[in-house]
Amino acid sequence: MTQEIFIYILIALVAVLAAWIALLELRLRRLFRGKKAGEFEDILRQIASELEDLHGARADIEKYLHTVEKRLSRSVQHVGAVRFNPFQEVGGDQSFALAFLDERKNGLVISSLYGRENSRVYAKPLEGGKSKYQLSNEEARAIDEALKKNA
């Protein structure tokens, strides 16, 4: 009785091993796809070469991305606009203040005062959201609006 159990266990073990070997053979055939080992080595060399090329391209892309991010930090990112009426005799809010700021809140504020007889345009530089020139209430509101939009 014990010999029969032992034989059944051995037969089951042989069947499992045969199935495992068949699966390995199938996977190897798929991997080689009818090619010989020498051709496979050439394919591996080609893949290694392409990987090196990809690493070089990645370094170039990272360098380019760094310069783009540097330029982006200096580009206009915050914009605010305020329309107002500075003179009682002129109807409508024809005057305006526009604020343009970069990532560091540097930029400028442009104001246009519209009157019946003439119009005036002013530009004031900004550093850190502040100007060394006195800002009108409307210019300050335009700066605040610009900074609130992207906060």
At residue 150 the predicted structure's pLDDT band, cuts being 50, 70 and 90, is low
- 88 and 123 together in one domain: yes
Give the Cα separation of 90 and 95 in Å (integer).
10
Domain span at 84: 78-149
- 44 and 98 together in one domain: no
- 59 and 111 together in one domain: no
Mean of the pLDDT values across residues 134-145?
94
pLDDT score for 100: 96
Mean of the pLDDT values across residues 14-18?
93
At residue 144 the predicted structure's pLDDT band, cuts being 50, 70 and 90, is very high
- 11 and 42 together in one domain: no
| Contact between residue 95 and residue 113 where contact means Cβ atoms under 8 Å apart | yes
Q: What is the pLDDT of residues 36-59, one digit of tens each?
A: 666 777 878 888 999 999 999 999
DSSP reduced 3-state for 12: helix
pLDDT score for 23: 93
- 25 and 55 together in one domain: no
What is the reported pTM? 0.60
Give the Cα separation of 129 and 107 in Å (integer).
8
| Contact between residue 115 and residue 90 where contact means Cβ atoms under 8 Å apart | yes
| Contact between residue 110 and residue 123 where contact means Cβ atoms under 8 Å apart | yes
Burial class (CB in 10 A: 0-12, 13-18, 19+), 53: exposed
- 92 and 138 together in one domain: yes
Give the Cα separation of 108 and 127 in Å (integer).
8
- 50 and 89 together in one domain: no
- 52 and 83 together in one domain: no
Domain count, the chain: 3
